[in-house]
Amino acid sequence: MKLTKIAAIVALASAGFTSTQAMAVEGLSANAAVTTNYLWRGQTQSDDGFAIQGGLDYAHKSGGYAGVWMSTVDYGDKFDYEFDWYVGYAGETAALTYDVGYIEYVYLEGFSNEDGLDFSELYGSVSFKELEALTVGLAIGVDSEGGAGFADDYYLSADYSFSIPASGFFKDVEYAAHVGTYQKDAGGSWSNIGVSASKQNFTLGLSKATKNSGDDGFLVYLSYGMDFDLSGLAKKFK
């Protein structure tokens, strides 16, 4: 459930990002973001309000990576924070690039985790080198606490990124489109679509989910995020 995890644990997570894909830079890095609406698979996680987010990631030259990510959430009178941790491996063959991993979603009320909503997923994504702009992903629920009902659910998604030659304000704008379907074992499945435009550190997005999601209107968000390369800092402590 993230907006700007490593580069994309978000494609599987939402149209406003959220799958962990391969980090471009080996070593330690951090990220921070603020968004007007934290969306996860087409649903607001912040009651259509602001959310503050941040994470820490490590990528090894072998392709392995691990990280943690945190966001404020608003589910009424329950839970204040979402804390995720994940491990994975990203690599490539002659025909495609791929990313597989495990992610655990933990929800905290203050600093307490007594009322379990926690769940975990196995995820994977592939991009074919002849069509690198297209990423297809699958996340499968493997564990769920507190009767949350996420186990055996799955989310199938496709993301397409592109740019349009332009000048002036629209120069260097990156566009993305997302479509996903969330099939819940306990019922209440839904689908969502989204489009976004990013320039520098800003992203403006529009998302729409089907009626069963509970958020079936058009949702708009604006986010600002930054990434920090901490590899040099880590070397100083060796």
**CATH assignment at residue 99:** 2.40.160.40
Mean pLDDT score, 174-198:
92
Q: What does the pLDDT average to over 137-142?
A: 95
**Residue 223 near residue 201, CB atoms below 8 Å:** no
Domain residues for the domain of 174 are: 27-236
pLDDT given at position 6: 42
pLDDT tens-digit series, residues 81-90: 999 999 999 9
Number of domains in the chain: 1
pLDDT band at 163 (very low <50, low <70, confident <90, very high): very high
Mean of all residue pLDDT scores within the chain: 84
pLDDT greater at residue 187 or residue 159: 159
The three-class DSSP label of residue 231 is helix
* Angle, alpha carbons 37-43-47 (nearest 5°): 50
pLDDT confidence band for 20 (50 / 70 / 90): very low
Q: How confident is the model at residue 32 (pLDDT cuts 50, 70, 90)?
A: very high
Does 159 reside within a domain?
yes
Overall average pLDDT of the 196-214 stretch? 89
Q: Determine the Cα–Cα distance for residues 193 and 134; give it in Å rounded to an integer.
A: 15
Is residue 213 one of the residues assigned to a domain? Answer: yes
pLDDT of residue 14: 44
> Is 19 inside a domain boundary?
no
**Confidence check: pLDDT of 182 > 60:** yes
Query: Are the C-beta atoms of residues 37 and 178 closer than 8 Å to each other?
Result: no
Q: Which tokens hold the place of 121?
A: 């997923």
pLDDT of residue 137: 97
Closest CA to 55 of 223, 204, 227, 202: 227
From CA 108, how far away is CA 82, in angstroms rounded?
A: 6
pLDDT at 208: 94
Percentage of residues of the chain with pLDDT beyond 70: 80
Q: Please state, as a whole number, how many other Cβ atoms lie within 10 Å of the Cβ of residue 9.
A: 31
Note the pTM of the prediction, 2 decimals.
Answer: 0.85
What pLDDT was estimated at residue 1? 55
Range list of H helices, 14-130: none
